[in-house]
Copies of this chain bind each other. A is one copy, B any other.
Amino acid sequence: MPRYVMTVRCADGPGIVHTFTAALLEAHGNILDNAQYGDPLTEQFCMRTRFESPITDVAEVRRILQPAVHTFGATFTVRDEDAHQRVLIMVSKFDHCLLDLLYRWQAGELPIEIPLVVSNHPDCAELCARYGVPYLHLPVTKDTKVQQEAVLRGLIAEHGIDFVVLARYMQVLSEQFCADFAGRIINIHHSFLPGFKGARPYQQAYERGVKMIGATAHLVTADLDEGPIIEQGVVTVDHSMDATTLSIMGRDVERQVLSRAVRQQAEDRLFLIGHRVVVFH
């Protein structure tokens, strides 16, 4: 039987779960997994439901669920679990996160498609070639950012990209671009935010003498390093480790935190509510 993932988001209130589960019954659905959250700060409600149904056409499922959606004025998605989301990866020179994503994708660990990798440097072309993934070298300077992003927008449309992953892409995206793709760009920052924002966080960590370093995956907003946090991880360090050693140790954390965040987005587990990200594990 086909399996589907439904997400619902609307103003909180009674009857939402009941109405949607009624609609699911109408679609002969059996719920496999359900998670929901009512946020006290924003009074927003969000729900993720995984279900199976004998109906094989997702459009038909969507049609059946539509009245429930209308009742609550909900933002709504339903997706065949096997129809993987399409991810554009952006990278600069550091390739550890990129390799990690490619490997997991190829090993079947990550339920995504990767139609394209874009970089402002040529360095990672060979790595992508090994995995049979198209690679586009798209240089950018301060002066050409608008044009570069116009190309990017074209590629996102052309390839039907669902979300973008910045896998150590060291360029700042324009405010407009961030706004237009709000909630659809994931970045990995190589520190435990809100500590060590900005450049050279491992050097900052070394100088501050911290005893743990970390990494943070977050949704990208125009306000750099202030994006809503998806996942974080840390590793214990000590005084004998210099900034270079910290950066090597940190790569492990970056890889894992980013791949977890990508998986969650790929499985429709993330909901941006106010400035906080709800993650249904």
Contact = CB atoms under 8 A, between A and B. Distances in A.
Contact of A229 (B130, B211, B231, B240): B211
Interface stretch (A58-66, A79-87, A133-141, A193-201): A193-201
A277 B34 contact: no
Contact of A193 (B130, B195, B228, B277): B195
How many subunits of this chain does the assembly comprise? 4
17 contacts: A14-B31, A15-B25, A16-B31, A17-B31, A18-B18, A18-B21, A18-B24, A22-B22, A35-B35, A37-B239, A40-B242, A192-B195, A192-B212, A194-B196, A195-B195, A210-B232, A234-B234
Contacts of A15: 25
Interface residues of A, number: 63
A278 interface: yes
A248 B96 contact: no
A79 B252 CA distance: 28
A233 to B, nearest CB: 8
Interface in A198-248: 207-212, 214, 228-234, 238-240, 242, 248
A208 B275 CA distance: 7
Contact of A17 (B21, B130, B196, B233): B21
Given A194-B196, A194-B208, 9 more contacts: A17-B31, A31-B38, A33-B36, A193-B195, A193-B210, A194-B195, A207-B275, A209-B275, A239-B273
